[in-house]
Amino acid sequence: MPNHWLFKTEPTTFSFSDLLSAKDRTTFWHGVRNYQARNMLRDDIKNGDGVLFYHSSCTVPAVVGIAEVVREGYPDHSQFDPSSEYYDPDSTEAEPRWFMVDIRATRELERAVTLEEMREAPALKEMKLLKRGMRLSVQPVTAKEWQAILATAAAKPTKAKRK
């Protein structure tokens, strides 16, 4: 049974539409420089796992699409590149410090599921993203949360009562 994750990104840096227009709708998820997130990228995130693609630091923070892991943890090349903003002079190729995975876009959601909606959903009460002070850019998502978000995306956005 594949696991589920949430990847955060600022859409001005790399958005879901950027992923959709990438070659093979695939990208390497480089630039993560946090040890907890690194451990997940290196050890826990497996081929076939599902990824919620989340836009942060923008007008309407929201999950906008889903993706699939297509390559498991391998060294993030940007740590060795002095011209990269992610360069880490203390890391070596023999003993890389930072890892990344490749993800491929599965599909855009019917509509974005906003942070606000997620806060209101009882099924998402325990979601890590919603916890105070939660800043990890890679985080685990339970199967229940994954389902709830997909279901919300498929449902009508309005709360208008039906006759």
Nearest CB to DNA, comparing residues 58 and 154: 58
Nearest CB to DNA, comparing residues 115 and 150: 115
Nearest CB to DNA, comparing residues 58 and 143: 58
Which two tokens mark 57?
Answer: 């630091």
Report yes or no: 16 and 65 within 8 Å, Cβ to Cβ: yes
Amino acid at 56: S
Report yes or no: 101 and 44 within 8 Å, Cβ to Cβ: no
Query: Which one of 20-28, 42-50, 126-134, 140-148 is the stretch in contact with DNA (CB under 7 A)?
Result: 126-134
Other CB atoms closer than 10 Å to residue 19's CB: what's the count?
Answer: 20
- Contact with DNA (CB under 7 A) among 36, 47, 92, 147: 36
* CA gap 62, 1 in Å, rounded: 26
Nearest CB to DNA, comparing residues 35 and 87: 35
Report if residue 61 touches DNA, rule: CB under 7 A.
Answer: yes
The DSSP line for 61-87 is -EEEEEEEEEEEEEE-GGGG-TTSTT-
- Contact with DNA (CB under 7 A) among 136, 140, 142, 150: 136
What is the phi/psi pair of residue 128, to 5°? -60, -40
Total binding residues toward DNA, as defined by CB under 7 A? 18
Q: Per-residue x/- mask for DNA, residues 15 to 34, rule CB under 7 A? A: ------------------xx
Residues near DNA (CB under 7 A): 8, 10, 33-36, 56-58, 61, 115-116, 132-137
